[in-house]
Structure 1
Amino acid sequence: MKTLSVRIGGVTAESGRFTLIFPLLISAGGFFVSIRPETVSGLLIQSHKPMKIALLILLMLTGFLCCTNSVAPEPSSNSYDFSSVDRFIDNNTAVYQDSIAVLVSQNGKVIYQKEHNLTIDTKRLIASASKWLSGAVILALVDEKKLALSDTVGKFLPLFTRYGKGNITIRQLFSHTAGFPGDSPEKYEYRRDLTLAQAVDSIAVHTQLANPPGTVFRYGSASMHVAGRIAELVSGKSWQVLFNEKIAVPCDLRATYLLVNLRNPLIAGGAWTSARDYLNFLEMIVSKGVFRGNRVLSEQSVSEMLRDQTGGATIQATPYPANPYSKNPVASVRYGIGNWLDVVDASGKVLESSSPGLFGAHPWQDSKNQVAGIIFTRTTTRQSAVTSLKIREMIRNSIEK
């Protein structure tokens, strides 16, 4: 294949270097379980299409260069002994296909970093770890009073009312309790030939509710897709532009919703970023909405994010029924806004929350110890989830000694 160089804003990119960066396209059922390899078909990177290459680079730069003055987290002079964590990771690299990066900070300073055949700056598709980022966008709009979690879908999308789905709330959309069957059976949220607006209209017309809103928890992507479209409507901006403005730029976070594409971004699983970038977002959450002295979300919105939003709904379809390393391991893992409330004490108080993704990204926040952390891998959550949870427990125990 011929290599085509394109120069934009002083940055040169070559088409030949992009063809292998994204060899994956999610073709998911409710839990993002199927992946099929393609040659970036949705992005159309071919040497005879220079305008599309230029467009791709511009979109990439939106995610990469939205903050050009990136500041690395400051190392801490803590006295924690993480040698047992090091040994455990070294003994379990096979679980992670011999590639793992771990980055942990406390009060904004790095207290633990380990890289094995993967760096904290490596950018990867993060699948469902995107849900946390997307939930933050929704809450930013709540802070601006453009939305309320109690608002109904019908208020913004009358087509849903016409088809008997208008009483679903924003809260239910982002806590998997809206009544949808996880993903839409027709996979509208994964269609590259649709816009976000078209996909959501199709969900309104053709996707039947499996349960009355608020009664059952079913993990998936359809409901968050609807919320993403509402966010576009109330803001008057595309999802990526809105994300950049409300979360990415304030958090010095370079992330792009590359899947399915920018016209129909997968709100529940389409982001591409690095461990270092994502940690900035987590530090904002741990700091109750403030990042490096600047408020990103209100303290009330962060509190809502980390509170059980499922309202006692029956858990019927979940990839995460329990956390064996929770302080209360028998408790069902409930859901906030875009994140799992997966470490609770005997009284049910949330101590930690997380948002693991199919491709092994495992971000978490520990509000009790003011800790933010992320594990990046080249494996799937199904292979690595228990080991990653154990790493989290070991880090927590080392801090609380």
Structure 2
Amino acid sequence: MPQINAERWNAVEQLVDHFYETDQVPAIALQVMVEEASRSYFKGRQRVSDERESLREDAIFLVASITKPIVVLGVLKLLEAGDLLLGDRVKRFIPEFGCAGKHGITIRHLMTHTSGLPDMLPNNRELRSANAPLSEFVKQICQIAPDEPPGRMVQYQSSGIAILAEVIQRVTGQTCAEYLTQVLFEPLEMRDTSLGVPGEWSTGNQPKIDRITEIRIPEELNIEPHWGWNSPYWRGFGAPWGGLFTTPSDLANLVKMLQQGGRYRQQQIFSPRTLEEATRNQLNNIPGLSKSARQGKGWGLGWQIVTPANSDYYGDLLSPNAYGHGGATGTVLWIDPRLQASAIILTTQPQEPHGRFLARISNTIVATIEQ
């Protein structure tokens, strides 16, 4: 049975301490699970420049693109309910989407980043500067032309996840945030998790909003503070591609469910078969992809499949069937079925494009595992 070597775990904590004490990373929270054992470690401060308040053990993080596979899980609940198929064209649910060369884009294309859509809208910065609502982003995504026909290329695209959130709203009549709370966060007892910061987090004697960590914004991105990651606008926006607020312990409940074939406590949240499909490389199912596209970064349904081509964020030691997702705010979540291990690493230091801090921590975590 795999287990964590206590002496080697000290090396993980020492590396985290080094990143903090040299001010390379303002805050780091770890939640590592190996078989039935778990370890957590918190180091840093709640606010980037405030030494007086240490990182809380109930700190809430903006996890950025880890949001994406969670939105996809929401759509997979609709698949299990018989409301849609992976091969359904998106225009079936959003008629106005089916224009400008997007007629053939399917739900599977959006989940696997093979739709040909751009990552962001060309006027993304202008929309944020105007504090535009999510509905305006969706409207404009429906109007644009893809960079390539669907199924021809693998191109990471936040815009496609925005459209999946709109599919959820068209099918259920609920916002994506409301739906995810109902079908995922409440059943999984993720009580400190929300897509966007809800109004009630600002109320009461101990408002949850005080637990949200501040992200250190790189100088090149600190152009418009009123719409940055720490701004009230972005916190309330609830971007389906990157607006999830959560804690390591809440995410650990989601991970447990994934590792247990869709089961959490006494509830079967997903069919094991659904999760098998979601966490295997889907690119072989896209007939128009080139050989080189298939040999790059692998994609399941929302989840990135760890391959030799994508050690970014995940380090160098995970098994070939591991899967997970990273986030631009300096976060990564990975699950390795072969090692029977998982890790949640949340920081407040953006690490694009290679996530070196995250990858180095991942390597030290894997090195603690004894078979």
Which interval holds the TM-score relative to the shorter structure? 0.7 to 0.9
Output the CA distance in 2 between the equivalents of 1:121 and 1:172: 37
Deviations 1:42-66 (A, max 9, x none): xxxxxxxxxxxxxxxxxxxxxxxxx
8 A contact 1:308–1:335 mirrored in 2:
yes
8 A contact 2:86–2:108 mirrored in 1:
yes
- Alignment gaps of 5+ in structure 1: 1-75, 318-330
1:131 and 2:59 matched: no
8 A contact 2:72–2:164 mirrored in 1:
no
| 2:341 aligned residue | 371
8 A contact 2:101–2:145 mirrored in 1:
no
For the structure 1 residues 292 and 378, does the alpha-carbon distance in structure 2 shift closer, same or farther, using more than 3 Å as the test?
same
Output the CA distance in 2 between the equivalents of 1:232 and 1:386: 37
| 2:33 aligned residue | 105
For the structure 1 residues 315 and 263, does the alpha-carbon distance in structure 2 shift closer, same or farther, using more than 3 Å as the test?
farther
Q: How does 1:309-328 map to 2 (within 5 A)?
A: 309-311=282-284, 313=289
8 A contact 1:181–1:210 mirrored in 2:
yes
Output the CA distance in 1 between the equivalents of 2:189 and 2:77: 16
8 A contact 1:199–1:264 mirrored in 2:
no
Q: How does 1:130-149 map to 2 (within 5 A)?
A: 130-149=67-86
Output the CA distance in 2 between the equivalents of 1:398 and 1:130: 28
1:334 and 2:262 matched: no
8 A contact 2:5–2:370 mirrored in 1:
no
**Offset at 1:267?**
0.9
8 A contact 1:217–1:316 mirrored in 2:
no
For the structure 1 residues 185 and 231, does the alpha-carbon distance in structure 2 shift closer, same or farther, using more than 3 Å as the test?
same
Q: Which has the higher contact order (CA 8 A, sep 6+)?
A: 2
**Offset at 1:381?**
2.2
- More strand per residue: 1
8 A contact 2:4–2:370 mirrored in 1:
no
Q: How does 1:250-399 map to 2 (within 5 A)?
A: 250-253=187-190, 254-258=192-196, 265-311=238-284, 313=289, 332-343=296-307, 350-382=320-352, 385-399=355-369
Residue from 13, 16, 34 that aligns with 1:89 = 16
Q: For 1:105, what is the secondary structure of its paired residue?
A: strand
Q: Which amino acid aligns with 1:201?
A: K
Q: For 1:131, what is the secondary structure of its paired residue?
A: helix
**Offset at 1:107?**
3.8
1:121 and 2:58 matched: yes
Output the CA distance in 2 between the equivalents of 1:266 and 1:98: 24
For the structure 1 residues 142 and 105, does the alpha-carbon distance in structure 2 shift closer, same or farther, using more than 3 Å as the test?
same
Q: How does 1:83-232 map to 2 (within 5 A)?
A: 83-93=10-20, 94=22, 96-107=24-35, 109-110=37-38, 112-117=39-44, 118-187=55-124, 192-196=131-135, 198-205=136-143, 207-232=144-169
Identity %: 22
Residue from 149, 158, 172 that aligns with 1:235 = 172
Q: For 2:283, what is the secondary structure of its paired residue?
A: coil
| 2:217 aligned residue | none
Q: For 2:368, what is the secondary structure of its paired residue?
A: helix
**TM-score, normalised by the number of residues in structure 1:** 0.69
**TM-score, normalised by the number of residues in structure 2:** 0.74
